[in-house]
Amino acid sequence: MFCVSAARLTALASHQPILPPSVSTRVAVMRFLGDGRSRVPNINTINTLITKTGAKGLAGNASVLGKAMFYLKRGNPVGAIAEIDKILPEISDDALKRFAVGIRLRARNDLLDMKESALKVHGGITELEVSDIRAALRDDYKVLEAASPGCWLFELAVAEYRLYEGCAKDAYDSFRLVEKSIQEYILSLKKPSPSQALHGTDNHASLVLAFQLSRAPPPNVPKVSSKILDEAIKGIVEGYSTKEATLAFKKDLGAALTDEEVVELVYIFEAAHIRHHFHDYFPLHEDYRGWGSERANAAKGTLASHSTSSVFLDDKLLASIRTSVPHQPFYAGEDELRRFMSSDHKDLIAELRHTFGSGPKTSLAKSEDAYFDALKAVENSPMSADAAGSAAYPVSQNDICLCLAHQLLYRTRVNIAVALTQLDRLEEAVPILDGVINADEYIYMWRALLARGEANKRFGHIGKSDEDFRQLLQLKRITSADA
């Protein structure tokens, strides 16, 4: 039997040097997803860096931002804001400065949520304190808006804040412009370099280095079964291009750093250059479950494929595979095969397939089941960053970009309808929401149901409103407080 599987060919091709489109499309996906999925900085290494650098220079400034990121990830927005306020006047690098303001903006948003919740409790907080936080947030949005011309992802964030503040007309106009930009972006995905349609995509060394680090197997991962593949992985991770980029990165930082410290700074600079720190459009945890339709589940599957996934075959399964593969490699006579191998063929694999066929894709005997089960596990696994040397990787990231753009288009249209509802243009709002809901693809459908329920309620269509609210209740997650 002769069977050359795409999964097995990818094993050798995937650990070739990263293709430039692989990096740019990955950056585009990460910018869409926001910083909710980014790693938590190693605070011990960060503190060591701050002590070593005195919080001065590129490395020192970045270290303080790493500490602010840690506080933000750990639910301490006050600590994050304090770190940013302390270092912001000293930052000269544009990317780091923009990153600092973005972290502070997210921290102030979190703080505002906390204070508004406390405001509902008698004596919890004064309205003046909440007003001060809103004013500070407004200033941060203005700073980032000036630093992000043409970035419709950020324009969406600004429009949502305007809607929150009650500026429905301004928000509506902004949402319409964002809607047009998203539609143009979706059309641009048919071009070779879709990531360039996102504002400010660059080629900073940290983006490539962080990608290389993501391809290195963690210490607790079992060694790969193939010696050739194992050497290929080491060759890429420890290769000349990676070492050269690391040395250049260290030189730019102008500080004597350990490898562990460099890794931490690489991820901080990567976050700064991805420019995703101002939003969390695709939260991992919400009060409502995701929409469960077939189309929405397909979208969820596409988004989930961004997370790298490894398929490990333990020794027991490998032993079963070795014994299950037929000893006779071709379903052809030995003489016929010898004649073929001695002939002059330029493309041996192609000619072999043409002459003998590619072989069956399913087991022909019970003894082959283990082999084909393992093969299916590999072939059905999401394409990870390991495959960045394959031209198929940027194509897969392109598909994710398309899916994310459609989801944000639904989000924008829901916001348009909410703004129209606030402007009492209900006859325009409801059809827009009908379109989003009937598409049956929006993962965060609870937003559309809530908006349509409110619009129909104001319209006087109580029966339709109740129906939407009943569906909304079915999506709500049950918490201990509800019980």
Splitting the chain (483 residues) into consecutive groups of 10 residues, what average pLDDT does each group show? Answer: 37 57 85 83 94 93 96 94 96 94 95 86 74 94 90 94 96 98 91 49 77 62 48 52 74 82 92 84 85 91 62 54 50 64 62 57 50 54 55 83 95 98 96 97 96 93 93 78 44
Cβ(413)–Cβ(179) below 8 Å: yes
Give the pLDDT of residue 206.
84
Give the pLDDT of residue 402.
92
Amino acid at 466: D
* Cα(459)–Cα(407) distance, integer angstroms: 27
Under the phi-then-psi rule, with left for phi > 0, alpha for psi from -120 to 50, and beta for the rest, what region is 300? alpha
Q: What is the DSSP letter of 327?
A: S
* DSSP H helices in 221-285: 227-237, 240-253, 259-274
* Cα(433)–Cα(425) distance, integer angstroms: 13
For residue 91, with 0-12 CB atoms within 10 Å meaning exposed, 13-18 middle and 19 or more buried, which class applies? buried
Q: What is the pTM of this model?
A: 0.77
Q: Tokens 């027991």 label which residue?
A: 316
Cβ(372)–Cβ(362) below 8 Å: yes
* Cα(134)–Cα(407) distance, integer angstroms: 28
Give the pLDDT of residue 446.
96
Give the pLDDT of residue 364.
47
Name the residue among 293, 299, 292, 285 with its Cα closest to residue 406.
299
Give the CA angle between residues 454, 455, 457 to the nearest 5°: 65
DSSP-based three-state secondary structure for 217: coil
Contacts (Cβ under 8 Å, ≥6 apart) of 422: 163, 166, 168
Give the pLDDT of residue 128.
85
Distances 224 to 217, 235, 312 between C-alpha atoms, Å:
10, 14, 8
Give the CA angle between residues 15, 18, 23 to the nearest 5°: 135
Cβ(167)–Cβ(131) below 8 Å: no
